[in-house]
Chain A
Amino acid sequence: DQQVKQNSPSLSVQEGRISILNCDYTNSMFDYFLWYKKYPAEGPTFLISISSIKDKNEDGRFTVFLNKSAKHLSLHIVPSQPGDSAVYFCAVPWAGSYQLTFGKGTKLSVIP
């Protein structure tokens, strides 16, 4: 039973446009949500997070939105750059621990 779902395996976006990556979760008790980015032949790297008490968190070109009623979060990248091409995972930690549950990931391709 997947507790974190990323239903789009891939996404292609033109350089300079907005990229929107989506993630749905099932457990309303999750209190923290994270996004990781992974390039080929590298480990995942932390990108941005959001607490369940917020509905938006912004860091430069990256913004994460949380809709608790819909159990949905999204990552917006504006403007998208070719270097953003990577696999993006949403993840949730269990009860303040470092035991993360990851989605299957969305492969973003930013076309120059």
Chain B
Amino acid sequence: ETGVTQSPTHLIKTRGQQVTLRCSSQSGHNTVSWYQQALGQGPQFIFQYYREEENGRGNFPPRFSGLQFPNYSSELNVNALELDDSALYLCASSITGGENGELFFGEGSRLTVL
């Protein structure tokens, strides 16, 4: 069984640029969500996708957007990067109807904005 994989693992961008982070869900999982973990904080929910539709969003501006593809892989796009966007971005997959709240996380993509 393949776990959740994310790419790239590390990247550096400058303020104002755009970034795309990618995630491959665990086999058989149909729901994907993205979290941002700033230094010293817990992961913060960005949004969730189910059947290629966004079905939940946290307190993040519209410049954070996402996609889920038919094979359940996913992308997180962030436009007009700001210094505060520097964080670890975590992708998590789950099965709708599975154990309440149990998510399977990838290792994350660490974004540094200069």
**A and B from one complex:** yes
Q: Name A residues whose Cβ lies closer than 8 Å to a Cβ of B.
A: 4, 6, 9, 32, 34, 41-46, 49, 51, 89, 91-94, 96-105
B residues near A, CB below 8 A?
4, 31, 33, 35, 40-45, 48, 56, 58, 90, 92, 94, 99-108
Nearest CB in chain A to that of B58: its residue = A99
Q: Min CB distance, A36 to chain B, in Å?
A: 8
Interface pair B41/A46, CB less than 8 Å apart: no
Given A4-B42, A42-B107, A100-B35, list of 12 further CB < 8 A pairs?
A6-B42, A34-B101, A34-B102, A43-B4, A43-B90, A44-B105, A46-B102, A49-B100, A99-B33, A99-B58, A102-B35, A104-B42
CB pair A98–B106 under 8 Å, yes or no, is no
* Cα–Cα distance between A89 and B37 once the two chains are bound (Å): 12
Chain B residues in 8 Å Cβ range of A93:
100-101
The residue in chain B whose Cβ has the minimal distance to the Cβ of A93 is B101
Enumerate 27 A-B pairs (CB-CB under 8 Å) in ascending A order: A6-B42, A32-B100, A34-B101, A34-B102, A42-B107, A43-B90, A43-B107, A43-B108, A44-B90, A46-B102, A91-B42, A91-B101, A97-B48, A97-B56, A98-B48, A99-B48, A99-B58, A100-B43, A100-B45, A101-B45, A102-B35, A102-B44, A103-B42, A104-B40, A104-B41, A104-B42, A105-B41
B42 near A43 with CB under 8 A, answer no
Which B residues are CB-close (under 8 A) to A32?
100-101
Residue in A44, A101, A104 whose Cβ sees the most chain B Cβ within 10 Å: A44
Shortest beta-carbon distance, B107 to chain A, in Å?
5
